[in-house]
Structures are given as C-alpha cells and as structure tokens.
Amino acid sequence: MNVNRAPREAQPIYVGLLGLGVVGGGVAHLLSQKSAALTAEIGRPIVVKSVLVRDLARRRSIDVPAGQITTDPDAILDDPSIEVVVEVMGGITPAADYIRRAIRNGKHVVTANKEVMATRGVELLQLAKEHGVDVYYEASVGGGIPLIGVFRQDLVANEVDQIHAIINGTTNYILTRMAQDAVDFAPALAEAQALGYAESDPTNDVEGIDAAYKLAILASLAFRTQVSPEHIYREGISKLRASDFRYARELGYVIKLLAIGRRYATEGGDEIEVRVHPALIPADFLLADVNGVFNAVHVQGDLVGNVLFYGRGAGAQPTSSAVAADVIDVAHNINAGVANRIPFHYAGRLLVRPIHQLETRYYVRLWAADQPGVLAQIAHVFGDYRISIASCIQKETDLSAGAAELVIVTHPAREADMQTALRELASLGCVRELANMIRIETVS
C-alpha cells in the first residue's frame, strides 16, 4: 500500500487515452459529457490530456482538439503529469508494452483489453504491485456488466464452484437467429456481419477464442489460480445446423456457446475444468433466455448460492460505463493516497482437468443406412465403451440415399469413451455421416 500521496483536491487528474475507436471515443465522450457529475463525485476534475491514435487523418465520432491527439506514445507514457493511462487500443502488441511502460513510470492503468489481461495479466498485476500502482480491467469481460469487481470484491468470501457464461455477443446473436428463425449458420453469420455484430474475419468469435480469453480472466479470479487461454478446451459454433436447434428444442433444451468453469475438490487438492464449446442447456435454465447480443454470467458460490449477471457485453456506452467506473475508482485511490488496496495474489496453480476426463451427457446426430440391424450395431459400439443410451429418435429420412437421421442422447459418460466410440461409429459401414456431437450441460 502506498500512503505517501496526499489528497490534492481541485487539481485535475490527467488521463492519457491510448486509442480513440469504439471504446476510446465512448470514454472520451462520457468523461467530457459527465464532467460536472464526475468532478462532484471525486472532488476533482478528470481531464483527458492526450489521446494516442494510429491515423491522425481519420474521421472521429468525437472532436478532440488537434493539440491533444498524437501518434507518439511517449507523449502519454513519458508525461509526468498524466496519472492514469486508459488503454483501449486492443491487441497484444504494442498494447502490453505500453501498459508495462505506463506502470514503470508510476501511472495507474485502466484497460478494456481481454487479450492482454488473459495472456499477460498476471505479469502486469505483479508489476503494478511492485510499482505501487493499480491495474483495473472491468471492461475486459462482459462490457458494461460488472464482473471483475464482483469477483475481486463482492464474492470474495465465497468458494466459487461453477461459472456458466454466455460471454460472446456475436455468437449468441448467431445462435439466437438459428434457434428462433431456423436460419443456418452461414446466413446467420452473414447477417451478423452486415449488422456490424461480427468482424469481416469472424474467427475469434465463432471459434470461441474471444470467449476463451474472457473465461481465462474470470476463472483466474473466481478460482484464484492462473488460468491461461491455452489451458481452456475450445470448440466453436460452425458445425451447428438449424436442425440441431429444432431437435434440441424437442428434447427440452436450448443450444448456447458456453464458457464453463468448475471446481472439484479431490483428495489431492482442488482441480478445475475450463472449457468453451456449444452446449445443450435445459430450456428452464436462466441462461436459456439470454438472446441476441446480450451476455450473462451465472455463478455458483458456496455462500451466495446462484447469482446471475446479465446485460450488454459490448458497445461504446456499456463498455465506457465500465472503463469510467475504473477511472473513478482509481481517482478515489489517488485522492486517498492508496494503491493496491486489494492485493493481487493467487493461492497456487490448480490442476486443470483435460477434456478427456469430462463426464457429461451427450447429444449425437448422425446419418445411417435405413435398414434393419443398424440401430443394434450403433448401440453395440456405445455399449462397448460403457455409454448408455437414454433415447434414440429417428428424425429425417433420405429415401434416395436410403439413409435415416438419428438423434441419440446418452446418460453421463466419459469424454474419452465418447470420442473413441465416435471414431468407431464413423468407421462402421452403416454410418453415412457423424453430423454432430454436442455436450449436454447440467447445472446443479
């Protein structure tokens, strides 16, 4: 804790903004529009002194005086009068480097950057501790939904057992269209791109990479251990078809791209599971009603029980709400002459269970020859790997190909067994196509 700084009421707190895009523009607008209210709240004005961009000629949604906008990072990072650096550039390089330099120069940092916090977060928080400054990152997960502060402060007395999260608005928009309007994946993605919800290169969203970054941040906080994106098992949504949503609904489920974290107590110590993949969830589970670009995070703690955080996970205003809240918190700390009020520490590294140890129920959709004896062959393969079938329903029939579509739901089985059984099924002469396997997520 740094107690050397005396309160300096009335003097402005100068902020340097790295980036003036969707979020940076929103933050600059908010800090100027709400300037009087913020001054009243903090007792001192918060003033954006300099803004870093790549391209000075680019048209902006907000007017910034020419003298305040720069392409030179040193103008912010080396300016001793700037106490708070707000990093809203995105990407790891050079953002992580600029954050390091800001910290080393004694500046507090507020960032919305999930890539940086998921991959370099521990190092940066440690560095901030050493330099007596704060790094706040509320906007890095869930846009305007309070989550980081919730795990750092509000739920800190809990042992968090489970997190189930819909934390990527792009994929949730696509899945909602597929579920509600029977649109297939490719047209639903094209529509999301036309509406500006998906990037022209949608890989980060549809392959679950963005959700894995966010889960790494949330799981690290929730389980007080270092979870990196590479620890997280990940599958995207591109294999889903409109028919999967129809069959899921008939079975009483909804399909969502879930980010899941679970803690297990074992004799050898706690272990965690961290995974991002499409999942069937019961239609009466709260997350089943989270539609469109909305995000939600369902948390189970030993004291609090179940809590749900729901709202807009992106956009200029919701995200600036989170960034501004962090800036205000930092300003209060500056006024009080403190930093690192909530020390950063992890209890130790928990073992991350590999996906093949997962035990869950499965939905399998396949096309098989429409002839006697086929069901018995399929059931035999599942039986060989201790997978018990809860239901098997014949759906469509393709008369010209002599094939029938089967939807199989299993009782709980081991992932390793399921994967071996699927490989064996694919090699059976009677199985024409293994169309999809989706895990069924039960929330206890």
Q: Would you please indicate which residues are annotated as catalytic (active-site) residues?
A: 214
Task: Assess 53 for contact with ligand NAP (CB under 6 A).
Answer: yes
Nearest alpha carbon to residue 263 among 150, 147, 148, 158:
158
- Determine whether 284 is exposed, middle or buried from the number of CB atoms within 10 Å of its CB (0-12, 13-18, 19+): exposed
Contacts 24+ apart (CB under 8 A), 310-315: 310/145, 311/142, 311/143, 311/144, 311/145, 312/143, 312/144, 312/145, 312/169, 313/142, 313/143, 313/144, 313/145, 313/167, 313/168, 313/169, 314/143, 314/169, 315/22, 315/26, 315/143, 315/144
Q: Minimum distance between the CB of residue 397 and ligand NAP, rounded to whole angstroms?
A: 45
- Counting every residue written for the chain, the total comes to 444
Instruction: Pick from 225, 319, 321, 333 the residue near ligand NAP by CB under 6 A.
Output: 319
* Residue 314 makes contact with ligand NAP by CB under 6 A: yes
Q: Which residue is nearest to ligand NAP (CB)?
A: 21
CA–CA distance, 189 with 198 (Å, rounded to integer) = 7
Q: Is 328 in the site for ligand NAP (CB under 6 A)?
A: no
Which one of 13, 15, 17, 20 is in contact with ligand NAP (CB under 6 A)? 20
Residues touching ligand NAP, count (CB under 6 A): 23
Which span (22-30, 248-256, 287-295, 407-415) binds ligand NAP, by CB under 6 A? 22-30
**Segment near ligand NAP (CB under 6 A); pick from 2-10, 61-69, 107-115, 159-167:** 107-115
Judged by CB under 6 A, the residue of 15, 17, 19, 137 near ligand NAP is 19
Output the smallest distance, CB 428 to ligand NAP, in A: 45
The DSSP 8-state label assigned to residue 314 in this structure reads: S
- Minimum CB separation from ligand NAP for residue 85, in Å? 13
Cβ distance to ligand NAP smaller for residue 16 or 278: 16
- Please tell me whether residue 58 binds ligand NAP under the rule CB under 6 A: yes
Q: DSSP of 78-103, one letter per residue?
A: T-TTEEEEEE---SSTTHHHHHHHHH
Q: Among residues 139 and 175, whose Cβ is nearest to ligand NAP?
A: 139
Cβ proximity to ligand NAP: between 172 and 319 the closer is 319
- Cis before 94? omega within 30: yes
Q: How far is the CB of 25 from ligand NAP (least distance, A)?
A: 7
201 is an interface residue for ligand NAP by CB under 6 A: no
Minimum Å distance from CB 55 to ligand NAP? Answer: 4
State in angstroms the smallest separation of the CB of 59 from ligand NAP. 10
Q: Which of 13, 15, 17, 22 is close enough to bind ligand NAP by CB under 6 A?
A: 22
Q: What angle do CA 264, 268, 274 make, to 5 degrees?
A: 35
Start-to-end C-alpha separation, the chain = 40
Interface pick for ligand NAP out of 31, 42, 112, 288 (rule CB under 6 A): 112
Q: What residues between 115 and 174 interact with ligand NAP by CB under 6 A?
A: 139, 143
Smallest gap, in angstroms, from Cβ of residue 95 to ligand NAP?
Answer: 7
What single string gives the DSSP state of each residue in 170-219?
HHHHHHHHHHHH---HHHHHHHHHHTTSS-SS-HHHHTTHHHHHHHHHHH
- Distance (Å, rounded) from C-alpha 265 to C-alpha 292? 36
Q: What are the residues binding ligand NAP (CB under 6 A)?
A: 19-24, 52-55, 58, 88-90, 94, 112-114, 139, 143, 314-315, 319
